[in-house]
Chain A
């Protein structure tokens, strides 16, 4: 099967939901890495909606094996390319959802990183196990209403904050680690470009809103993505060789309600000032930690095309 498609290497005709952030991000990534790319994909929405036999949305060689082993499969692909002497001409990507990355696939991913394979790992972070019906993952945010962290008289939603995957990646000594968001498509492209220009293991975690799972209007996917960044809840950062080298600064930081209020998964929070305060505290700590706030008004940097 090959994708009979246009100029894109991830074509239309896949079966993603309207407004799926992951489909947009996946296309941006592969269009940057180009036709000399081989992708190993974990099980998850992306795999399911892009390769329903006998169709495929992929214009590059692409392999899916299991839910948790794309990193190991990619390691095998990379080792084979090394053996064949063609590695330098080909970009290998290992990609997965947040569950496939941060939970069930973390062991294989950690092994791949530690071994130093020249592979780009991409995590499409839609903050839950979407493919199986919006169950909580290690990257589900605090207080989120999911199908396995439902709200109730004894529950305010997911009781834990997001697992710090970028830090976990940095701790592995990766050459490049970044977070990105579908709200900033040019930024995704630039980061992918930068990542593949450096030899070694690298990780990009892309925030991809999911209208079905987050219960937001499919028309505002980009805006939701932007709001997560603008509130400080999803800071866009870059590490090179372990050092924080890039932070998308914000001239005006919005209160977290601006982000929460468009999403059904946070509806229960809106009537609870206490819970909003807790989530604002998460944003505030990010703002502080990464210095997200632009101090001088003369240097606004939150324009999509602006430098990091």
Chain B
């Protein structure tokens, strides 16, 4: 049965069903509703967990690090500045191979201060070793959290997973969602039982100093495990479908890409808008489609290549930038086609930074502008009246 829930509530329900023993978080908009909801569940005895109210995100991440190192499943959530403050710990958690699950309620990064959605926060830690998943809608956000523990805690994986959901758009929006039963989740997600942990019966040293003789292999091992994650995620998606009766997750989703002449590549909630535009344009006989990136790390290069190789024109529509260079997703997808025969014409569009509305018209305009000539990179919907003369 479906229930009308706010995105944050839905995620809190998913986390509750995964039974973390330790939850730690520090408040930041738009993450707050998720952890408030969990705190209420703990307060009412609906979830048996230690809820550790910390003095910063740096400590929130460190608390879940310590808990998972002790062999207990843990959860945290943050956004924007919180994620940036955690960055040092974020890298450390991955390096220590601790399968923490974190929600990132995606929000822009200051300055200027802005609490609304884009993907700059998550993109900033893309090189940290975390698996990064992006949800399109609330149901998917809920489902990805359950899958996240399965992915990260795999004995051959042991990596943290960040589930990204667009701040406000998904965290504060309402949607009818299907909440699985505890039995369903229990049979899909076994209890966390790591091979190594802090245990007085078997005293291990975790987090040692590693000199040049050993460091590179430890880093390479994470990189190599990401290849295993690429193989694992589709299997988990299929298993999830069997267990829960709906398709959720995976590496990418192709939406009317077969036979398409123009395809937009995007991540997160904007994919919903793009799907609507695709449907409208398809009705008018335009051959357009969407390639939704669900798994951003590890980067599904092969799936992206396969999906786009016969598409003449591609637009990368991105809510993040690499100031001073091309945007991250754009660079990566162009590099996928580097050296390949007859690559698509790949144009780049930056859109919706700091929560600026992304309208159906903007998406239509992007499709319209995909011609044989590549657009190197363009910021969409800029307001010339706010820019100085030198930009005009």
Contact = CB atoms under 8 A, between A and B. Distances in A.
Interface of A: 1-3, 35-38, 40, 47-48, 51-54, 56, 58-66, 68-69, 71-84, 90, 107-108, 110-111, 114-115
Contact of A69 (B62, B202, B209): B62
A64 B69 CA distance: 11
B203 A52 contact: no
B200 A114 contact: no
Nearest to B206: A63
Contacts of A74: 66
Contact of A79 (B52, B55, B199): B52
B55 A63 contact: no
Contact of B209 (A3, A51, A68, A83): A51
B211 A52 contact: yes
A83 B50 contact: yes
Interface string B6-26: 000000000000000110100
Contacts of B49: 83
Contacts of B200: 35-38, 60-61, 90
9 contacts: A2-B204, A40-B66, A68-B58, A71-B59, A75-B24, A76-B67, A80-B21, A80-B68, A115-B53
Nearest to B96: A65
B56 interface: yes
Contact of A61 (B53, B54, B62, B199): B199
B71 to A, nearest CB: 7
B380 to A, nearest CB: 39
A69 B58 contact: yes
Nearest to B20: A83
B208 A79 contact: no
B64 interface: yes
Contacts of A38: 70, 198, 200
B214 to A, nearest CB: 5
Nearest to B70: A80
Contact of B89 (A56, A69, A80, A81): A69
Interface in B212-226: 214
B181 interface: no
Contacts, number: 170
Nearest to A36: B200
Contacts of B202: 2, 61
Contacts of B199: 61
Contacts of A79: 21-22, 24, 50, 52, 63, 66-67, 72
A107 B68 CA distance: 22
Interface residues of B, number: 44
Given A63-B205, A79-B24, A84-B70, 11 more contacts: A47-B209, A61-B198, A61-B202, A61-B203, A64-B207, A69-B58, A76-B22, A76-B67, A79-B66, A107-B59, A115-B54
B74 interface: yes
B205 A77 contact: no
A21 to B, nearest CB: 20
A10 to B, nearest CB: 11
A1 B206 CA distance: 8
Given A63-B66, A76-B64, A108 B59 contact: yes
A41 B72 CA distance: 20
Contacts of A73: 62-63, 65-66, 69
Interface of B: 21-22, 24, 48-50, 52-56, 58-60, 62-72, 74, 88-89, 92, 96, 198-200, 202-211, 214
Which has the most chain B C-beta neighbours within 10 Å: A58, A61, A66, A78? A61
Contacts of A80: 21-22, 50, 66-68, 70-72, 74
Which has the most chain B C-beta neighbours within 10 Å: A74, A83, A114? A83
The 4 closest A-B pairs by CB, nearest first: A76-B66, A72-B62, A111-B55, A80-B70
Given A38-B70, A76-B22, A77-B198, A51 B64 contact: no
B209 A66 contact: no
Contacts of B53: 115
B56 A111 contact: yes
Given A62-B203, A80-B50, A84-B21, A1 B56 contact: no
Contacts of B52: 75-76, 79, 115
B70 A1 contact: no
Nearest to A51: B208
Contacts of B209: 47-48, 51-53
B308 to A, nearest CB: 40
B203 A81 contact: no
Contact of B22 (A36, A56, A83, A107): A83
Which has the most chain B C-beta neighbours within 10 Å: A2, A54, A65? A65
Contacts of B55: 107-108, 110-111, 114
A280 B65 CA distance: 46
Contacts of B210: 53
A134 B204 CA distance: 30
A72 B22 contact: no
B372 to A, nearest CB: 51
A108 B26 CA distance: 13
Contact of B203 (A60, A72, A77): A60
Contacts of B69: 63, 73, 76-77
A84 B62 CA distance: 19
Contacts of A90: 200
A255 B76 CA distance: 54
A79 to B, nearest CB: 4
A71 B62 CA distance: 9
Contacts of A65: 62, 65-66, 89, 92, 96, 207
Contact of A72 (B59, B71, B208, B211): B59
